[in-house]
């Protein structure tokens, strides 16, 4: 079945359709991971985006029950050079083609993904469509499309829910969370309550948390002003750990600025330097926005990490409050496990804050 990928700049790529036989439109981006396509497709940070995989063969180990980052993926489409005809893996339950059909996500294969990626790198992310006919009317519709700004609202849970255990009490604010974040807290026996993105500071504090996690999520962080207000109200009262979009929101809550990157960071081979120690971690990343380094108030915040290739801000820590954040994904799904230790540092921050409160209340 012939299918076309058309770009906002007038480019046309002809390929073969797989997955759901539907027309779709969204922002086209590329991911450089050699594996991890299931986690990528089900990551809600890709809401509204058509994902191009730079690795030439995708789908070779199928889809399994363990690697979902969400149950209902909301990416708009999948672009590959070659879609594997047969999956070979002991965990495989269904093929990529079957999975995309079940989730109503279209795919296109046979594309020169190298040429496509080079175009995105030079021109930046742009609007794109996957369709059965590339005509002038399709280009006119694409150019007229206005991308939504309520992406976090689309993917966040609408009601709070628990992931119970007997350890530290963690409130996870869902901006489009990955299940792997919950898995990391489960490994540390945390009692987790997941709450919607627009939960107020008072509602969060009423849950008596030991710590608050600000999760990853899609879109422009300035489109979530209610979260910025909430962070300003709780910081200093409870330890905070932000990841990806949560990192950007913590920055905005402390007077920083964010900007849209030309093509973003998407993959899990991004080297990040911890400035204090010089330690290099290879990290999983998925973001199109970043914190502007020049806007960071050095009297309030400390830049803790930077991306080695473009020197963008990859980590922040508050100088006076128990709060820190990273732009990358320490939950590492998919990706290397180099930064898992940050969840342990969050646990240590929580324990130190509780000890300090106890000492202030009862004395030494």
Q: Would you say 95 is a known binding-site residue? A: no
Q: Would you say 15 is a known binding-site residue? A: no
Q: Would you say 248 is a known binding-site residue? A: yes
Assess if CATH 3.40.50.880 describes domain 151-362: yes
Which pLDDT value is given to residue 138? 87
Q: Would you say 278 is a known binding-site residue? A: no
The domain locations on the chain are 2-144, 151-362
Report the DSSP beta bridge partners of residue 63.
94
From 38, 88, 37, select the one nearest 65 (Cα to Cα): 38
Contact 106, 73 (CB under 8 A): no
Largest CA distance in the chain: 76
Helix axis angle, 245-253 to 225-234, nearest 10°: 70
> Which is catalytic among the residues 247, 265, 270, 329?
329
Cβ density class 200-231: b for 16+ within 10 Å, e for less: ebeebeeeebbbbbbbbbbbbbeebeebbebb
Supply φ then ψ for residue 255, to 5 degrees: 85, 5
Quick check: is 75 catalytic?
A: no
Quick check: is 341 catalytic?
A: no
Which pLDDT value is given to residue 135? 78
Quick check: is 340 catalytic?
A: no
Q: Would you say 153 is a known binding-site residue? A: no
Which pLDDT value is given to residue 364? 62
> Which is catalytic among the residues 244, 270, 281, 287?
244
Tens digit of pLDDT per residue, the chain (364 long)?
A: 899 999 999 999 999 999 999 999 999 999 999 999 999 999 999 999 999 999 999 999 999 999 999 999 999 999 999 999 999 999 999 999 999 999 999 999 999 999 999 999 999 999 999 998 877 788 888 989 999 999 999 999 999 999 999 999 999 999 999 999 999 999 999 999 999 999 999 999 999 999 999 999 999 999 999 999 999 999 999 999 999 999 999 999 999 999 999 999 999 999 999 999 999 999 999 999 999 999 999 999 999 999 999 999 999 999 999 999 999 999 988 888 999 999 999 999 999 999 998 888 887 6
Report pTM.
0.96
Which pLDDT value is given to residue 333? 87
Rounded to whole angstroms, the Cα distance separating 228 from 221 reads 9
> Which is catalytic among the residues 43, 97, 281, 331?
331
Contact 4, 15 (CB under 8 A): yes
The CATH class for the domain spanning 2-144 reads alpha beta
Which pLDDT value is given to residue 237? 97
Q: Would you say 197 is a known binding-site residue? A: no
Rounded to whole angstroms, the Cα distance separating 124 from 120 reads 5
């Amino acid at each position: 079945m012939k299918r076309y990928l058309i770009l906002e700049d007038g480019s046309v790529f002809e390929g073969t359709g797989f997955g759901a036989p539907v027309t779709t439109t969204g922002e086209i981006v590329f991911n450089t991971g050699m594996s991890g396509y299931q986690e990528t497709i089900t990551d809600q940070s890709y809401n509204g985006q058509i994902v191009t995989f730079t690795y030439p063969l995708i789908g070779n180990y199928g889809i399994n029950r363990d690697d979902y980052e969400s149950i209902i993926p909301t990416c708009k489409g999948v672009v590959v050079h070659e879609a594997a005809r047969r999956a070979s893996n002991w965990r495989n339950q269904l093929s990529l083609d079957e999975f995309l059909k079940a989730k109503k996500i279209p795919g296109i294969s046979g594309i020169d993904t190298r040429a496509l990626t080079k175009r995105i790198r030079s021109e930046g992310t742009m609007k794109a469509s996957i369709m059965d006919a590339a005509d002038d009317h399709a280009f006119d519709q694409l150019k007229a499309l206005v991308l939504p700004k309520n992406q976090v609202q689309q993917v966040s849970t609408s009601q709070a829910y628990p992931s119970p255990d007997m350890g530290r009490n963690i409130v996870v604010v869902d901006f489009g969370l990955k299940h792997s974040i919950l898995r990391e807290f489960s490994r540390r026996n945390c009692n987790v309550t997941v709450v919607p993105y627009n939960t107020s500071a008072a509602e969060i504090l009423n849950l008596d948390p030991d710590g608050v996690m600000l999760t990853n999520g899609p879109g422009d962080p300035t489109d979530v002003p209610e979260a910025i207000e909430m962070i300003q109200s709780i910081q200093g009262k409870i330890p905070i750990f932000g990841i990806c979009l949560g990192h950007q929101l913590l920055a905005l809550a402390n007077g920083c600025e964010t900007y849209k990157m030309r093509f973003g960071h998407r993959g899990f081979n991004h080297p990040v330097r911890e400035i204090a120690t010089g330690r290099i971690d290879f990290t999983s990343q998925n973001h199109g926005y970043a914190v502007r380094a020049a806007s960071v108030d050095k009297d309030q915040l400390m830049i803790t990490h930077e991306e080695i290739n473009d020197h963008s801000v990859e980590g922040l820590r508050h100088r006076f409050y128990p709060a820190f954040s990273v732009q990358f994904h320490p939950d590492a799904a998919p990706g290397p496990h180099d930064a898992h230790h940050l969840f342990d540092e969050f646990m240590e921050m929580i324990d130190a804050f509780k000890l300090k409160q106890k000492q202030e209340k009862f004395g030494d």
